[in-house]
Amino acid sequence: MRLSELLAALPPALAPVSVRGLDGADDPVIRGLAIDSRAVAPGDLFVALRGALADGHHHLGGAARLGAAAFVVEAVPEGVDLGGRPAIVVRDTRRALAPLSVRFFGDPSSELTLIGVTGTNGKTSTTYLVESILRQAGHEVGVIGTVEVRYARERHRAINTTPESLELQRLLRAMRTKRVDAVAMEVSSHGLALGRVDGCRFAVGAITNLTQDHLDFHGTMEAYRDAKALLFARHIAPGGAAVIHLDDPWSGSFAEVVHAAGVRVLTTSRDPTRGADVSLVAAEVALDGTAATVKLPDALATGPLQVRLPLVGDFNLENMLVAIGIAAALGISAEHIVAGIGAVPQVPGRVERVGADMPGAPTVLVDYAHTPDAVEKLLRTVRPLARGRLVTVFGCGGDRDRAKRPLMAEAVARFSDRAIATSDNPRTEDPLAILADVEAGLHGLRRVGPVALASTEQSYAVVPDRRAAIELALSVAGPDDTVVIAGKGHEDYQIVGRERLPFDDRDEARRALARRGAA
């Protein structure tokens, strides 16, 4: 593709401010796009992005030496030698990257049934449910989200919940090449605010909930809400639909955006008196799953559906309802909905049970809950299912929203008999400073040393080393007790400083259980 053809994809608001070295006689063929100067191949268009840790403008020379055919920049630094190759100056390279990527990869989302799920909590579980339902309905499905990217028997580790626009368009084209026809995708507030999904058109967009998170990036809950609402305001395909969960306090705001955009809407609710299109009639939650009765729109079912959801957790009923709403919006049959829900696999790190086969072990549950609302919902579900004491291990991430730390701790204190405050991903913050913020919310429990934790009612200990904290929790728990390890879920690393160190809560719990059994 010629450079001029690519640049024609830029809308007026992103049109080049100036162009250097491009005329009719020098319109290079672009063989690829790159945003990492180290990955540039001869013939690539290098787009220089300004990031939190690095600025691509500082690496233009390296990209030129590796054979970049042209550059998209916000400015050309003084003294940088681009080898006489074209430099296109735009106001915002990150925003320009999306339409360039869409054009280069041939607008793959227009060839797919794209389903976008946004919300603070529940995105991953909802996409797993949607994937399972669509598979039962005969679709070849791809998934893009927090845990991984998978399609056509391929699996790749996810770096961001929503990939950068270049990687996203590359993925969608690769999926279509492998005959994928439907994609269930987690759409983060960052992905929406930073334009990563620009150019994507979703057959269905859904919002699970909105609770406090990412205020370090958005600043206020209103700004966070507005970022989520972009899914409905800008990215629903003609004839597409929105799914809104009415039980969320912010649902009215999203309904207003949907109405203003002229998008068809389906609603879900746990309350059958709300008049939602999809509603929960009854449910029975246990540690081995949930039995539920669900009402669907009359066009899909003449009576309530009886479903068996293998996922643990009362909050998964909300995710299930949203997934059913998405299926209803797509016209999936009731038969395939029931089969898909029943066949959904364990979602990694979402109320995932560890060591169930070990005799005399406590019930150990690992979960990704890392917001006040998610922690409260998790523990509110587990509390009545626990035969003995509830022991919770948790921490809060560094370089992130500080205000949520005591709120998470308050939820832990309300439901737990014992708690251990520890490190999550401290990143560049002092772990002890993070724990000081956490302790402000643990006033409902008594602080004790690790040795006294087992013998002191309604108590907590502070153990900065996460491995030692998990070991302590499993040493004080009896066979009838339940241990919840919250915050990291599926993650198999811990970020300390700027390093990703190998660490998996599930593996650590298994090792601690094995040592406990041997003792």
Instruction: Report whether CATH 3.40.50.620 matches the domain 3-104.
Output: no
Report domain extents, the chain: 3-104, 108-343, 352-518
| Length of the chain counted residue by residue | 519
Tell me the two tokens of residue 65: 């030496």
Yes or no: is domain 108-343 CATH 3.40.50.150?
A: no
Topology of domain 352-518 in CATH is Protein-Tyrosine Phosphatase; Chain A (3.90.190)
Q: Where are the beta strands (DSSP E) in 384-512?
A: 390-394, 418-421, 446-447, 459-462, 482-486, 493-496, 499-502
Letter string b/e over residues 111-144, b meaning 16 or more CB atoms within 10 A of that residue's CB: ebbbbbbbbbbbbbbbbbbbbbbbbbbebbbbbb
Q: What is the largest CA-CA distance in the chain?
A: 82
Per-residue pLDDT of 280-329, as tens digits, reads 999 998 888 899 999 998 878 778 999 999 998 888 999 999 999 999 99
pTM across the whole model: 0.88
Q: What pLDDT does residue 518 have?
A: 65
For the chain, the average pLDDT equals 94
Residue whose token pair is 């060591």: 355
State the Cα–Cα distance between residues 220 and 225, nearest whole angstrom: 9
Residue with tokens 């809407």, as numbered in its chain? 265
Q: What whole-number distance in Å separates Cα of residue 141 and Cα of residue 127?
A: 11
Ranges under pLDDT 50 in the chain: none
Q: Helix, strand or coil for residue 285?
A: strand
pLDDT the model gives residue 519 = 63
Over residues 72-111, the pLDDT tens digits come to 999 988 888 898 899 999 999 999 999 999 999 999 999 9
3-104 and 108-343: identical CATH topology: no
The Cα 207–Cα 255 span in angstroms is: 10
